[in-house]
Each structure stands twice: as C-alpha cells, then as structure tokens.
Homo-oligomer: A and B are copies of this chain.
C-alpha cells in the first residue's frame, strides 16, 4: 500500500498517481468536491475504481492532495513581488503573471474557485496559515510604497482583490467569455492589453489632473 508509507515511489506508482491527480483536477474543477464521483475520476484516469483507491485512501485525500499542491503554485506570483523593484512595474508584472496562470492553469483556478465558493471547507486552514500572512505582508509593502509617494493612494487590500478578480475571471468564467467574444477568439491577448493598461493608469504616480 503506497499511501502512508514513506518509501520511494516506483515508476508505476508515479505514473498512476500523476494520472489520477490530473483526472481528479479535471473532474473536481468542473463539478466541485461533492459533485465529482470516483467513477468519473477513475474513468478519466483510465483505471478501475478499486485501483484508484489503491493509490489514494479516499476521495477526500485526492482532493486535499490537489489543494495542497495548488497552494504553492497559487501564491508564488505574490511571493516574488519584490520590495526592491519599481512599484508600478512590480505590480504590473504581478498582474501579468496572474493572467498567465489563469491561461495556463485554468483548471487549477476553477478548483480553487469551487473550493472558495463552497465556503473553503477543506482549505480554510491553508488560507489562514499561508495566504493571510503573505497577504498582510504584501499589503504592508504596497502601503509603504504609497507612504513613500511611489504609488498614488489606493487601498492595497482591495487592489489585490481587484487583481485577483480580473485575472482569475478569464479562467473561471471562460464559458461565459467564450459565448460573448465568440469561442474562436483568444481572449488572453486583448485581456492582457486591457489589464496592463487599466492597472498602469491606476498606478501611474506621475499623473496630473
């Protein structure tokens, strides 16, 4: 049993665990935890259900593994926000990185959105222990930049919310955007231009009215 043990995983084990997690990401991100079934995940992974449960103790475990993996990736762009960089360029880079993540990891974005929508029943500790301190730290950083006159006065917390909302929107509401722009359109090119322009306008400190 490959679960609780701490031995090195075999090649088969690595391949199958990876396949299961990929399949689970697909299914959980579309239906949420309760809406997803092990049969669906097993089918998507090309395994039988008991075989699936040979690699993961239970459904919750699969979901938790995905969520934990996600947290790192998800916070990384914010982690690298550099106190020593130029404030406007740092934040604009952050926006772009978040948008890139929405484009490249839409399933992860939707998995996260689903979990939060449902009240974060399995993720609240992570939010409190990992996200909250980082959030506070980066808000303080932005507040500092403002105090130094290197950014216009703006609510740092809501600025971050707006960045998250506008970037993740392209992954989470992909379906709606597809209907409105036409499914052939690549929304991300124009989205990038729009968001860069929008947040630059917002943050340009040398603005004269």
Cross-interface CB contact of A180 among B114, B132, B162, B166, cutoff 8 Å:
B132
Please indicate the chain B residues that have their CB under 8 angstroms from the CB of A195 in the complex: 158, 162
Number of interface residues, chain A, beta carbon within 8 A:
56
**Which of A97-146 touch B at CB < 8 Å?**
110, 113-114, 116-120, 124, 127-128, 131-132, 135
**Which residues of B sit under 8 angstroms from A116, Cβ to Cβ?**
172-173, 175-176
**Does A18 sit at the interface, judged by CB under 8 A?**
no
Given contacts A118-B30, A201-B201, contact A166 B161 (CB under 8 A): yes
Determine if A128 and B179 form an interchain contact, defined as CB atoms under 8 angstroms apart: yes
Integer count of this chain's copies in the complex: 2
Measured CA separation A98–B159 after assembly (Å): 18
Pick from B154, B155, B166, B190: contact of A162, CB below 8 A.
B166
Q: Which residues of chain B come closer than 8 Å to A159, judged between CB atoms? A: 194
In whole Å, how far is A115's beta carbon from the nearest beta carbon of chain B? Answer: 9
Segment from A4-12, A31-39, A46-54, A78-86 that makes contact with B: A31-39
Name the residue on B nearest A124 (C-beta).
B179
A23 sits at the interface (CB 8 A): no
Q: Which residue of B127, B176, B201 contacts A202 across the interface (Cβ within 8 Å)?
A: B201
A165 adjacent to chain B (CB < 8 Å) = yes
Residues of A near any B CB (own CB < 8 A): 29-36, 110, 113-114, 116-120, 124, 127-128, 131-132, 135, 154-155, 157-159, 161-162, 164-166, 168-170, 172-173, 175-177, 179-181, 190-191, 193-195, 197-198, 201-202, 204, 207-209
